[in-house]
Every structure is written in structure tokens, then in C-alpha cells.
Structure 1
């Protein structure tokens, strides 16, 4: 499978103990949905490599994972910082008004006041908030993914309806910045 057929589940952050367990940061809304996993894919270089899980503990303040064949502190250290992935087919189903970020790449952004603006190139987190990235008048524009700014996503027609705050586009169009 190509990398585009996977979603990022989380990251291995540091070893735990001396028997190969690792702290795992799960970048998902509900980590408990993944408690019964048997395997994940780790991105090693450009390859997606399957790793079988021998133990996964989801806790409110700490998630621990152990893999078959990783049984020492040194072996665990080699995996620190590596991202975990699952096939997109394993994403939990969402309600009609909900969406995953990878789904809206390529959607047309239409503003209630300005009309067609551009196409979503990517979605990412700035740390403070999540934003969608599009090109408008040859400039890259970041639009916060907030309910007040993006009140509706029409999955059937691949349209993102927006209500941009006054001046948002001008910030990106001003050549002085």
C-alpha cells in the first residue's frame, strides 16, 4: 500500500523500563478505540513495516506499547521518534457532518461573501489550532478550522463553506508582509 492509504496514529516517544516497552503518543480523539489492535505499521525510511503488538495499555496519562521481538531497552531506543500508522480503512466511521482532515484535501473552498476561493492543498496543526492550506491569488493562505469560520463541509459535492473574518485574506495578499 502507498503511504496515502494510511493515517498517522501516533508516535513512539521514549522507552519504558528495560524490557522493550515504549511510551506511545496517540494523536487521535479517542485512544480507547484502538485498545484491541494486533498490529500497526511503522514508517522506517520510506517503507511501512508491520509490527505486531504484544501489549497495549491505554491510560488517561500514559499509553504503553510493546512489540513482538522488541525485548530490550536498546531495541526500544531504536524506535523512538518513529510514527505509527494504520490503514485508512481502520478509521472509525464518522457522522455526516464530521470529516477527517485527509478527506478534505482537494475540496473547493467557497466563502459566503467572496465566492470561490481555492482548493484545499493540505491540513495541519500549528500547535495552537488546526488550519487548512489553500492557494488564493497565487499566495498560500491558512484558514483556521473553527466552526465559526468553517460552518459546513459538503462531502458529497466536495465543498467547504466558509465565513472568513474580515481582513484574513488581505493579511496574505499584502506584499509588505
Structure 2
């Protein structure tokens, strides 16, 4: 069975000819929104394919035209829907890069002591760098920035993340 991963959300119609405003939540918006790209929306429990017919940047969003959407009435029907990419359409990433799905729930260890700190429970992308929520077996979750001085190693093959906690990143009270 094909897996699908969210890459954006349709926010509103734009104009009368079927363009929609999209908030892209992917690291690869130019690839995902390139002419001819296949994206999907979910209707009930079915995924419906949409083919990108054109896209352009507009402020912090993208204006996208899909082949299947010809006017404002059809555009309004897809507003609020998430856009997905099929796993089979995902590209191979360069060395040292990874998809969120590949690292979520990985155990996180202190690089110096080897102590297991918890698992990577959530990833947020607020700005310059991602922040990761580490959930220990006991106690409160804490957040770390995904920066070189903190995240030392992401070992996908062994499902292991090693970090160096800077002072103040973890409230142990």
C-alpha cells in the first residue's frame, strides 16, 4: 500500500480561473510544485491525484494551478485540504539529509555519556532551524535546536541520534 506524506495545504482560491493559494510545508517546494508534478488530496479515505499545471511564489505562499481545477467553484471545494506526495514520488536525499518520517521516534543519546535521553517525538520548523522535541521515558519533554553544535550524529541505519546538550536546554527539575 502506498504511503502519503503531507507537503502543504490549500488555503484559498486565487482569481477566477482555478488557481489556489498553497502554504508549502516541504523543504522542496520548487520540486513538489514543478509543472507535471503529482500531488494528492484526501477525500474521505481515498487519495485524489492532482497534476501541477503551473506555480509561482507569492509572498510566503505559492499560487498553484492544477490541471483538474478549472474555475473558482472547483477551487473552493479543495480549500482547507492538505496536499500529499506519494512515497514513490519522493526523491533520494543527499548524504546527511533525511525525511522527518525517518527520524521520528528514534532514540536520542547524550554523545558524551551515552545516556539515553528519550526519543525524538516531534519536529517543528519555526524559522532558521528546526527544533526537536525529546520525550524521555519519565519526566518532562524538552526541545533542542537542530544545529551542528547540538545534533552530533543522525545514524539512520541504526536508528540512533547523538546530541550534545548545551547548558539550559534541559530542565531537570
Shorter-chain TM range is 0.7 to 0.9
In structure 2, the partner of 1:167 is 168
Change (3 A) 1:95 1:166: same
8 Å Cα contact 1:109/1:160 also seen in 2: yes
1:6 aligns with 2:4: yes
Bigger Cα displacement from structure 2, 97-106 vs 54-63: 54-63
8 Å Cα contact 1:51/1:68 also seen in 2: no
CA distance in 2, matches of 1:69, 1:54: 9
Using the size of structure 2 for normalisation, the TM-score is 0.81
In structure 2, the partner of 1:73 is 72
Q: Secondary structure at the match of 2:40?
A: strand
CA distance in 2, matches of 1:121, 1:22: 32
Q: Secondary structure at the match of 2:151?
A: coil
Unaligned runs of 5+ in 2: none
Change (3 A) 1:164 1:42: same
In structure 2, the partner of 1:55 is 53
8 Å Cα contact 1:102/1:123 also seen in 2: no
In structure 2, the partner of 1:102 is 101
In structure 1, the partner of 2:142 is 141
- In the comparison of the two structures, how many residue pairs are matched? 169
Unaligned runs of 5+ in 1: none
Change (3 A) 1:117 1:42: same
CA distance in 2, matches of 1:63, 1:168: 35
8 Å Cα contact 1:12/1:84 also seen in 2: yes
Q: Secondary structure at the match of 1:139?
A: coil
Residue 6 of structure 1: how far off its partner (Å): 1.6
CA distance in 2, matches of 1:147, 1:52: 38
State the Cα RMSD in Å: 2.5
Residue 169 of structure 1: how far off its partner (Å): 1.6
Using the size of structure 1 for normalisation, the TM-score is 0.80
Residue 55 of structure 1: how far off its partner (Å): 1.4
Correspondences of 1:118-157 after superposition (within 5 Å): 118-126=118-126, 129-136=129-136, 137-157=138-158
